[in-house]
């Protein structure tokens, strides 16, 4: 396996960064998770736009243009002989002195890992997932805007640990007002009274790329879609629930906090989104 590291492809064992990189020392950096389907990088331009927005928010100057970044992502897939897989694109602040100030870092580092990924077992997509709500809260948007996809993921990691301690593969994270924000790595949707509802980004939800695709698919399906505050009570009493994410894709949820959602099986609306999503990824993307 070859890893792209600042313009050069190196063996996995040699893909190393300095201990003085501020991405390691302070979590000062950004990333994108991107999917490859049948030699086609899904929603690559949208991912690179979000990367640029994150970089601008952090006053981090990207060393590559969008086209150069796109070429590097595609070449990473080709070099590793991938037709289907997952790409992790990381930009760190780069090597600097000890201390928070990025002014000591002369330039950022770009890392691209292209590999296989399986986030959930195959049966989860047919039988559904049971999730729980955990105590660790989502970062307040006033402290760190959720639109910045940064390397600061510690609260998500803690929430993932809490989920595992209770035998769950995924967990709902609330914001500091008690509203549903998102899961540890996925956006959340419910179906209620004929409408598909998802938390507003102002509640602490990331504007996920797959989340945005759901809005486009909802319009195609003629399904009303809205963003608004959701409580756990709303989720418990939903007719259906599903999660979306680049790695996860579209995941049916059949139980939340021990309460069955609907009839305890993946619902028809979720299945329709699953079907049209799989149709979409086969025709929409940047070819290698």
Do 150 and 225 belong together in one domain?
yes
Measured between alpha carbons, how far is 288 from 278 in angstroms, rounded to an integer? 19
Long-range CB contacts for residues 158-167, cutoff 8 Å, separation at least 24: 159/134, 159/184, 160/184, 160/185, 162/134, 162/135, 162/136, 163/131, 163/132, 163/134, 166/132
Report residue 3 as tokens: 């890893």
Q: What is the domain-level CATH number for residue 40?
A: 3.30.470.10
Q: Residue 111 in contact with residue 69, Cβ under 8 Å? A: no
For 164-217, write each residue's pLDDT tens digit.
Answer: 999 999 999 999 999 999 999 999 999 999 999 999 999 999 999 999 999 999
Q: Residue 133 in contact with residue 174, Cβ under 8 Å? A: yes
| Mean pLDDT, all residues of the chain | 95
Instruction: Quote the DSSP letter at residue 12.
Output: G
Do 253 and 126 belong together in one domain?
yes
Do 75 and 189 belong together in one domain?
no
Do 6 and 94 belong together in one domain?
yes
Domain that holds residue 141: 122-281
Do 129 and 241 belong together in one domain?
yes
Annotation says 149 is catalytic: yes
Q: Which of the four pLDDT bands, split at 50, 70 and 90, describes residue 80?
A: very high
Q: Which of 81, 115, 149 is the last residue of a domain?
A: 115
pLDDT of residue 119: 82
Do 270 and 168 belong together in one domain?
yes
Q: Which of 115, 139, 156 is the last residue of a domain?
A: 115
The length of the chain is: 288
Percent of the chain with pLDDT over 70: 100
Do 71 and 147 belong together in one domain?
no
For 5-26, write each residue's pLDDT tens digit.
Answer: 999 999 999 999 999 999 999 9
Q: What is the domain-level CATH number for residue 267?
A: 3.20.10.10
**Closest by alpha carbon to 261, among 269, 273, 253?**
253
Q: Which of the four pLDDT bands, split at 50, 70 and 90, describes residue 288?
A: confident
Mean pLDDT, range 97-104, rounded to an integer: 96
Measured between alpha carbons, how far is 126 from 252 in angstroms, rounded to an integer? 8
Q: Residue 208 in contact with residue 244, Cβ under 8 Å? A: yes
**What is the count of structural domains for the chain?**
2
Q: What are the backbone angles phi and psi of residue 60, rounded to the nearest 5°?
A: -110, 115
Q: Spell out the SS3 assignment of 36-74.
A: EECCEECCHHHHHHHHHHHHHHCCCCCCCCHHHHHHHHH
Do 64 and 129 belong together in one domain?
no
Catalytic residue among 38, 61, 149, 220, which? 149
pLDDT of residue 160: 97
CA of residue 151 relative to chain centroid, distance? 12
pLDDT of residue 118: 83
pTM assigned to the model: 0.94
């Amino acid at each position: 396996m070859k890893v792209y590291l600042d313009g050069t492809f190196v063996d996995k064992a040699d893909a190393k960064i300095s201990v003085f990189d501020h991405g390691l020392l302070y979590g000062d950096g950004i990333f994108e998770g991107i999917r490859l389907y049948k030699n086609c990088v899904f929603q690559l331009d949208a991912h690179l736009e979000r990367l640029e927005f994150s970089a601008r928010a952090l006053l981090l100057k990207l060393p590559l243009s969008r086209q150069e970044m796109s070429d590097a992502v595609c070449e990473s897939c080709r070099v590793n002989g991938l037709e289907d897989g997952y790409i992790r694109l990381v930009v760190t602040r780069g090597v600097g002195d000890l201390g928070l100030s990025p002014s000591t870092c002369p330039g950022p580092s770009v890392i691209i890992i292209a590999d296989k990924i399986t986030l959930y077992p195959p049966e989860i997509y047919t039988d559904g997932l049971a999730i729980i709500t955990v105590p660790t809260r989502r970062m307040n948007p006033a402290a760190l805007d959720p639109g910045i996809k940064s390397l600061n993921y510690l609260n998500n990691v803690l929430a993932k640990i809490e989920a595992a301690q209770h035998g769950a593969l995924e967990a709902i994270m609330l914001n500091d007002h008690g509203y549903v924000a998102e899961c540890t790595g996925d956006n959340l949707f419910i179906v209620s009274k004929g409408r598909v509802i998802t938390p507003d980004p102002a509640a602490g939800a990331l504007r996920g790329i797959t989340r945005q695709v759901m809005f486009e698919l909802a319009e195609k399906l003629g399904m009303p879609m809205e963003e608004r505050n959701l409580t756990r009570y709303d989720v418990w009493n939903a007719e259906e629930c599903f999660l979306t994410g680049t790695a996860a894709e579209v995941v049916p949820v059949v139980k939340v906090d021990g309460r069955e959602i609907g009839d305890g099986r993946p619902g028809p609306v979720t299945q329709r989104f699953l079907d049209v999503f799989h149709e979409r990824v086969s025709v929409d993307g940047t070819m290698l």
